[in-house]
Structures are given as C-alpha cells and as structure tokens.
Amino acid sequence: MKFLDGIKVIDFTAAIAGTLGTMTLGDLGADVIKIEPPRGEHYRTAMDGAILLAHNRNKRGVALDLRTKEGQEVALSIASKADVLTENFVPGTIDRLGLSYERVREVNPSIVYCSVSGFGQEGPYSKRASYDPVAQAMAGIMIATGEPEGKPCRQVTSLIDVTASLYATIAVLACLREREKTGKGRRIDVSLLDTALAAMNYFITWNSFTGKVPTRIGSGAAGWAPYQAFDTKDGPVWVGVSVDRFWWDFCKGLELDDLAADERFATDQGRREHREEVVTKVAEICMQYTSQELEAKLIQAGVPCARLATVAEVGENPQVQFRGILEDSDYATKGRIRTVRAPTMIDGNLPETRIPTPLLGQHTVEVLKEHGYSDDKIQELLSKGIAVQYGA
C-alpha cells in the first residue's frame, strides 16, 4: 500500500501517543524517519521492548543528540525536506531542542507540524507531564471503571494514547490534502485530555440534561441489562442483551419460557429498573453451562456474546486467523515475535511490514547521506557521538 508514497515524515515521538500515528502513516506508504536520542527513546526497554516493537514498524531509525547545536542543525536539515513533523514532548521541550514550529516553518513553510501532548500547547496545565491514565482520571473514565464494590481502575490498554494518535493522523491527512490545493502548512495540536473527553462524549451529554454520572458497573453498562460478563462452569462469557429483540432471542435460545413471560423484564426499561433481579436470574442460568456451550447456544440464537479470551488465546480465534491481522516474524534482538498489523483492510489487503522496528540508529548513515552529508562529515558526527549508527 503506497497511498502516501512520496510523503516524508520526521518522527520525534516516543512511547505510544503520537508514535502509533506515525506508524500508521508509514503503513500507508510514507517514508517515516524516527529520530531518537543516542541512548534511545525511554520506552525501548518498557515491557521488555514490546511497546517499541508494537508501534515503530515501517520507520527508519536515526539517533541524534539534540542537546547539541550540531545535532539540532542536522535534525533541522532533515525537517527542511519533510512533509510532516510529529512530536510528543511536554510543550516547550521541542523549542529548547531548536525545533520549534516557528523555526521549522522558517526553513520549511509547507510543513505539517503535529504535536501530541497531555494537555495541549497552551493553558494552565500545558507544561504538566502526563500519561494516558492521567487523562483517564481527569475525564471521568477511571472513577467509573471497575466493579461496583471495588476501587477505580484504569483501562488495561492505553486507549487514550491510541485514540490521540489516530486523531493526529486524521488531522495530518486532512492538512496534507489541503496543502495540495494551497501549498500551505498547518500546526496541529492534539491533547490526551481532549481525546479522553471526546471518548466520554455521550456520558457528558447525558449528564448535562439528567445530572447523572456513570458509576462502576464492572463489565456491564448503565443502559442495558443483562449486558455484562457472566460466569459459567469453566469460564466467563460476555452477554449483550440490549434491545428487546435480543431479550426474546436470549430466552428462546435457552428455552426460558418463564423468564420470557415475566412482564417486569419485557422491555429494556423494565430490565434496567429490575437490574439486580434479572442479573441474578441470568447468572444462575449461565452457571448451568460450560462457556463453550453457552456461547454456542447464544450465537445460534443471534445474541451478541463472546467467551473472554486472554492475549495468549486470541491467535486461536478463527476470525482472527482468517483476517490475518496477527503477524509473526524474526527480530534481531528478540527472536520470534508477534505483532498486530494495521487494522485497515483496503481491497482485501492489509498494509505490509516493509521495515521492522529499527534498531537504535539503524539508518542514521543512510538518512544523512540522503540529506547531503558527506562520508567525512558523517564520520565526524559519529565520532563525536552527535549521531549514532547501530553496530558502528
């Protein structure tokens, strides 16, 4: 997939927020150059390197010391020939590294300059450090996540980071489309807090005219019942009875004539009003089956459901296998690894992994040569430690 062939992206991101977005551009054909400090980004070792491996395919790796004037000049030279620059430093940091929007725009007026941060580039919180769970906490997500009698929980995966990356990608693509007509670059500002609030949008709207706030309800949801995970003889199954049709299908599929005849549960409103009773009854029924038996019966009845799988089990899912979304490959420092391909199937195909996640500074010499640096100058930068090449 070379939809973005000819587009050059300079990637100063680390961790997840923003990094997934630049990988997405790379998956779609852009030439993404990831610039890291000489010792590598701070997430190179997080989760044994898994976060780095999961978010940096289809990028070339360059290592530069941006704390030095020479390193900044090299980075600015690369940025002068780029279409997109993406960074996710705490606001103000990239300015101190000599790569502010204003300075980059001076050498490249058509640059699409994208910043992803915790709180945005301006405002009372802008200089605060942040991570995904901070945004979850501030936006009302964490307080409403978990079991009713338990403590608040963060989402296990960094969905706010991921979503912010995708919003950034959408904005970059829109700005590139506009630039085709105008030749004008743009400044993009995406924040984790804004993204988390966007994820809570219907709860915020609901609160505005009812005064209600979402509460912890485990695997369920306030709008429907029974709509949660239920235990069986050997493992939990998530059951999604939302509209009344699914209730009748649920009762018919499990031959629950008495339950179907109970007028209290005949409508979604009635089931919500009698949530404790209906959930208790359904829980007792589910314990009569194994997870496989219950799932099979509910699938046959047309009721949304799924056995709860671990990440070790997802590769056994026939639909996952059919889609080919998981990819196994060999990696220089890890051996056999499994990654998730971009979930964007176009004309029956998923994007290919053209370049595995780069080793630290793997393409430094290659990229510097492309940007006009002589062999002698490159060797000077390497000998000073301003630039780093893997294996050099």
Q: What is the pLDDT of residues 21-70, one digit of tens each?
A: 999 999 999 999 999 999 999 899 999 999 999 999 999 999 999 999 99
Residue 204 lies in a domain: no
For residue 65, tell me if it sits in a domain. Answer: yes
pLDDT at 228 over 80: yes
CA 171 to chain centre: 16
Residue 148 and residue 33 share a domain: yes
In this model, does residue 392 exceed pLDDT 70? no
How many other C-beta atoms are found inside a 10 Å radius of the C-beta of residue 21?
Answer: 31
Residue 391 has pLDDT above 90, yes or no: no
CA angle 311, 60, 341 (to 5 degrees): 25
Same domain, 149 and 264: no
Percentage of residues of the chain with pLDDT beyond 70: 100
Mean pLDDT over the full length of the chain: 96
Q: Read off the amino acid at residue 359.
A: L
Out of 260, 276, 307, pick the residue that ends a domain: 307
Q: For residues 107 and 242, state if they share a domain.
A: no
Query: Are both 232 and 146 inside the same structural domain?
Result: no
**Which residues are tagged catalytic?**
161
State pLDDT tens for residues 64-99. 999 999 999 999 999 999 999 999 999 999 999 999
Query: How far is it, in rounded angstroms, from Cα 79 to Cα 99?
Result: 9
Decide: 200 and 207 in contact? Cβ < 8 Å.
no
The yes-or-no verdict on residue 277 having pLDDT over 70 is yes
Same domain, 89 and 52: yes
Nearest Cα to Cα of residue 158 among 338, 16, 18: 16
119: domain CATH number is 3.40.50.10540
Please identify, among 307, 328, 358, the residue that sits at the C-terminal boundary of a domain: 307
pLDDT mean over 219-243: 96
Q: What is the mean pLDDT of residues 245-265?
A: 96
> Is the domain of 293 the same as that of 382?
no
Q: What is the pLDDT of residue 1?
A: 82
Give domain status of residue 279, yes or no.
yes
Residue 388 CA from chain centroid, whole number = 29
pLDDT in tens, 161-200: 999 999 999 999 999 999 999 999 999 999 999 999 999 9
Examine the domain organization and report whether 250 and 296 are in the same domain: yes
Q: What is the pLDDT of residue 127?
A: 96
Check pLDDT > 70 for residue 202. Answer: yes
Rg over alpha carbons for the chain, rounded to the nearest Å, is 25
Burial zone of 44 (CB within 10 Å; 0-12 exposed, 13-18 middle, 19+ buried): middle
Are 150 and 86 members of one domain? yes
Q: Considering the domain boundaries, does residue 211 fall inside one?
A: no
Name the H helices within the chain.
Answer: 19-27, 50-54, 69-79, 93-96, 101-107, 132-138, 159-182, 192-199, 201-210, 244-253, 257-261, 268-273, 275-286, 291-301, 318-323, 364-370, 375-384
SS3 135: helix
Which of 307, 328, 360 finishes a domain? Answer: 307
**What is the CATH number for 233?**
3.30.1540.10
302: left (phi over 0), alpha (psi -120 to 50) or beta: left
32's torsion region: left (phi>0), alpha (psi -120 to 50) or beta?
A: beta
Q: Are residues 181 and 246 in the same domain?
A: no
What phi and psi values does residue 178 have, to the nearest 5 degrees? Answer: -65, -40
| Structural domain includes residue 364 | yes
Domain-located, residue 338: no
CA geometry: angle 382, 108, 94, nearest 5 deg: 60
The reported pLDDT for the residue numbered 156 is 93
Domains identified in the chain, total number: 2
- 8-state DSSP, 42: T
In the structure, what pLDDT confidence band is assigned to residue 269 with cuts at 50, 70 and 90?
Answer: very high
Domain contains 103: yes
pTM above 0.85, yes or no: yes
308-336 residue pLDDT tens: 999 999 999 999 999 999 999 999 999 99
49: left (phi over 0), alpha (psi -120 to 50) or beta: left
Taking only the tens place, the pLDDT of each residue in 142-153 is 999 999 999 999
- Assigned domain for 317 exists: no
Domain interval for residue 380: 8-198+346-388
Q: Quick check: 235 pLDDT over 80?
A: yes
Is the domain of 351 the same as that of 297?
Answer: no
Kindly state whether residues 163 and 25 are assigned to the same domain: yes
Please indicate, yes or no, whether residues 128 and 171 belong to a single structural domain of this protein: yes
